[in-house]
């Protein structure tokens, strides 16, 4: 695997998103490699905790907009008109289910966020069981302004109606301190202490029998699944395709082709 690294370190399975030159942006292959790493860790009886992190300056910058927005013409995420919503749904549902391997894993997953986890990067992070952020890290879903809908829909289930609407109506990002305050993540610590804090939590969890950990995770997860998680994700995944092929979504793609995605994003978010 090139885009995701995996290694076992005692009782820990360490999964690292590994496109640091692209701020670990999601391309066609990263979701598949992520799920493969989760499967390997979850199948290893010696692994009690999975620690998910990102190489380089950030956890994950979302989907690779150089690949999907800036490049001229259609691509796997943007069809020519008229577009076929089922083709798009097949693609994005596949990615959503690969991200959700973190949720389905019987082994607990701690996600360590530094730099930022935005857009599709927040989709990945929020599928983990616990998220620990650096206080100065940023998390959010800016594509809710134009060009996206969070396919894992975890905002709804982690922070409730008011805060989910606040985040998705604005597309704002928040720092780790605010994310912890509203209950989006487990806690936030100074950036210099992030590694140590995650290691301490992981070591504490690793002292519990694997079968006990699996039972606790299954019990909590089923409560949210009973609340309609799968149905919400299905709707969100369809809406994600609609957002990219709406008049505003098409205009954003055209603007990104003309001036580059960084300027197009800046204009969108302004």
pLDDT one-digit tens code per residue, 37-93: 999 999 999 999 999 999 999 999 999 999 999 999 999 999 999 999 999 999 999
Pair of tokens at residue 226: 């009973």
Burial of residue 52, with CB atoms counted within 10 A of its CB: 0-12 exposed, 13-18 middle, 19 or more buried = buried
Report the pLDDT value the prediction gives residue 66, as an integer from 0 to 100.
Answer: 94
Q: Is 60 helix (H, G, I), strand (E, B) or coil?
A: strand
Average pLDDT, the chain: 97
pLDDT of 23 above 90? yes
In this structure, are strands 4-9 and 12-17 parallel, antiparallel, or unpaired? antiparallel
Share of the chain above pLDDT 70, in %: 100
Whether residue 127 has pLDDT greater than 90? yes
19 Cα distance to chain centroid: 15
Provide the angle, in degrees to the nearest 10, between the axes of the packed helices 85-99 and 229-245.
130
- What is the rounded CA–CA span in Å between residue 216 and residue 180? 22
For residues 258 and 260, what is the distance between their CA atoms, to the nearest angstrom?
Answer: 6
Domain 4-269 has CATH 3.90.226.10: yes
Q: Are 213 and 205 in contact (CB under 8 A)?
A: yes
User: Residue 229: is its pLDDT beyond 90?
Assistant: yes
Asked whether residue 270 carries a pLDDT value surpassing 90, the answer given is no
For residue 168, the model assigns a pLDDT of 98
Distance set, CA 217 to CA 33, 75, 123, 213, 261 (Å): 23, 38, 19, 6, 39
Sketch the domain layout of the chain as residue ranges.
4-269
Instruction: Tell me the pLDDT band of 96, cut-offs 50, 70 and 90.
Output: very high
Query: Tens digits of per-residue pLDDT, 243-255?
Result: 999 999 999 999 9
- What is the pTM assigned to this prediction? 0.96
8 Å CB contact between 164 and 178: no
- The string of pLDDT tens digits covering residues 140-157 is 999 999 999 999 999 999
206 pLDDT more than 90: yes
- Whether pLDDT at 119 is above 90: yes
Residue 234: is the preceding peptide bond cis (ω within 30°)?
no
pLDDT above 90 covers a percentage of the chain that reads: 99
Average pLDDT of 107-127? 98
């Amino acid at each position: 695997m090139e885009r995701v690294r995996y290694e076992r370190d005692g009782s820990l399975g360490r999964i690292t998103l590994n496109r640091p030159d692209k701020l670990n942006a999601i391309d066609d292959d990263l979701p598949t490699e992520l799920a493969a790493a989760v499967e390997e860790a979850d199948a290893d009886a010696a692994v009690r905790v999975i620690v998910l992190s990102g190489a380089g300056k950030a956890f994950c910058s979302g989907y690779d907009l150089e690949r999907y927005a800036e490049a001229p013409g259609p691509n796997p995420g943007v069809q020519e008109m008229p577009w076929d919503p089922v083709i798009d749904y097949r693609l994005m549902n596949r990615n959503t289910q690969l991200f959700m391997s973190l949720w389905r894993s019987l082994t607990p997953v701690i996600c360590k966020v530094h730099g930022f986890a935005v857009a599709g990067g927040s989709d990945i992070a929020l599928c983990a069981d616990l998220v620990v952020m650096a206080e100065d890290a940023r998390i959010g879903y800016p594509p809710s302004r134009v060009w996206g809908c969070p396919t894992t829909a975890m905002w709804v289930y982690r922070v409730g109606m008011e805060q989910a609407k606040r985040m998705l109506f604005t597309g704002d990002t928040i720092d780790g301190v605010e994310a912890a305050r509203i209950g989006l993540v487990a806690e936030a610590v100074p950036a210099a202490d992030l590694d140590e804090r995650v290691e301490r939590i992981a070591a504490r969890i690793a002292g519990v029998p694997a079968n006990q950990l699996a039972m606790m995770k299954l019990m909590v997860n089923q409560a949210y699944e009973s609340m309609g998680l799968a149905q919400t994700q299905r709707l969100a995944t369809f809406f994600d395709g609609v957002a990219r092929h709406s008049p505003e979504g098409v205009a954003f793609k055209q603007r990104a082709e003309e001036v580059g995605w960084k300027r197009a994003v800046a204009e969108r978010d302004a």
